[in-house]
Amino acid sequence: METSAVLASAEDRVVDEAVAALERRYQAGHHGPEQRRRDLRHLFGLVLRCVDEGHTESIITPSEQIAADRFVAGVDIAEVLGAFNVLQEALWRQVAGTLAGQQQIEALGFVNAIVGAGKDALARTYVALVSREGNRLGAQHAPPGGDGKAASGGALAGTDDLAAAPVRTGVHGQVGVITLDDRRHRNAIGPQLADGVVAALESLRAWQVRVVVLRAAAGMDVWSAGHDISELPRGRRDPLGYNDSLEGMLRAIRIFPMPVVAMVHGTVWGGALDLVLSCDLVTADETASFAITAANLGLPYNTTGLLHFLGRLPVNLIKEMFFTAAPLDAKKARECLLVNHLVGAAELEPFTLELAATMAAKSPMAIAVIKEQLRVLTDYQPIAAQVYERIQGLRREAYDSSDYLEGLNAFAEKRPPVFRGT
Ligand code: KGA
């Protein structure tokens, strides 16, 4: 019998069991049994839909919405996660009691991946709302709890605040998908987005996926606008120092012990190109283009980043891209092998998932070791301390210059920069 049919036929039993478990755990909770039953039926329906569709996407947005609603209502995150946990346990029991062997293992895997993706989306959204609210309101306001209204500040219920979780994760079989979804800022990379990607990698590792796909949310025509320019230091400090969040995200991807595929629909700017180059493979459609715009900002790119470019592209192309800041279109990017596969927009997602699934079926051990060897061989260049210090000195002159400030100001004022070379 199909997993979907097994689960569908047990809806009442699973929901009853989960409601009873919730009642035992949260006697003093916010909801009565009827509301709990409705919530659990809703969740159960989402799980079933994901099983039917064969992927976790359908549980993600509703879970984010649940997180936002419960946050506004002042329900504790542990109680919200509790509903997912008891449903997961009841589903496990159902699967264990009705299926056997390989079918049982597969069904348990489905349940784990789907409920896990839901919990992940829920936790990420809830935590982002808590931290955003903390930043906005300061200590004098009550945290969520009680009627929750004071903490919501009236602004949290709207979908805009769901953008507080700009990174989403999903699981398709053994492939994890990280989606960048900060439309308002065109996926500009600041600490929240960069740290979100690092956390997403960790959570996908815990789910034991074997390949990760990094993409922008469907419908975005900017894949990423690069480093959040408003977060760049205004001189006297290395704009791309070791502790910059973008740099941390690049390292996390490069040392991640499984393939990360950048799936590019739309335009890629500045540090986002470094992000694409830090992924192991790149798939793209004809809307993709790639620009490194450091010279528009007067920003001296860092040595580690230049090595990333040197590891992937011919030096004359690197120079042209840095010196003109002009986008390389998808066709040219394919010709110079920045892009592994260029496919039609409609094929991009299925093609990328299939490519990822092919890699997921290979030896994860061999892939992890080969990836790490290639990283070490391409990332490290032995240079004398004196040479490195000279490079740093030159870079310092550039980021202390008035040109760099002019680049930042021009962007903020939405005008072309006027550089004087000083
Ligand atoms: N940092 C901060 N905010 C950004 C941003 C960025 N990189 N890119 C866009 N935004 C903001 C922008 O200021 C605007 O905010 C909103 O996102 C939508 O952008 O609404 P506000 O408050 O005015 P916009 O420009 O209206 O959208 P668009 O017309 O669709 O154009 C999209 C692009 C991507 C073409 C445009 O926003 C753009 O040119 N952005 C800058 C791209 C760039 O040069 N990035 C490189 C950053 O530097 C970098 O990564 C490094 C380290 N580097 O190059 O060395």
pLDDT, one tens digit per residue, over 182-235 is 999 999 999 989 998 998 898 788 778 999 999 999 999 999 999 999 999 998
Residue 149: the pLDDT is 28
Give residue 289 CA to ligand 1 midpoint distance, Å.
15
Residue with CA nearest ligand 1 atom 52: 271
Domains of the chain: 1-164 (1.10.490.20), 166-422 (3.90.226.10)
If one compares 173 and 374, the residue with the highest pLDDT of the two is: 374
Q: Is 321 in the pocket of ligand 1 (CB under 6 A)?
A: no
User: In the structure, what pLDDT confidence band is assigned to residue 375 with cuts at 50, 70 and 90?
Assistant: very high
Residue 135: the pLDDT is 43
Cβ(99)–Cβ(3) below 8 Å:
yes
Residue 174: the pLDDT is 92
- pLDDT tens column, 389-406: 999 999 999 999 999 999
Give the mean pLDDT of 383-394.
95
Cβ(120)–Cβ(77) below 8 Å:
no
Give residue 135 CA to ligand 1 midpoint distance, Å.
24
User: In the structure, what pLDDT confidence band is assigned to residue 133 with cuts at 50, 70 and 90?
Assistant: low
Q: Is there a catalytic annotation at residue 242? A: no
Give the mean pLDDT of 101-114.
88
Q: Is 185 in the pocket of ligand 1 (CB under 6 A)?
A: yes
Cβ density class 316-338: b for 16+ within 10 Å, e for less: ebeeebbeebebbebeebbeeeb
Cβ(290)–Cβ(332) below 8 Å:
no
Distance in angstroms (rounded) separating the CA atoms of residues 67 and 75: 9
Rounded to two decimals, the pTM is: 0.71
Residue 144: the pLDDT is 34
Q: Is there a catalytic annotation at residue 227? A: yes
Cβ(272)–Cβ(290) below 8 Å:
no
Residue 131: the pLDDT is 67
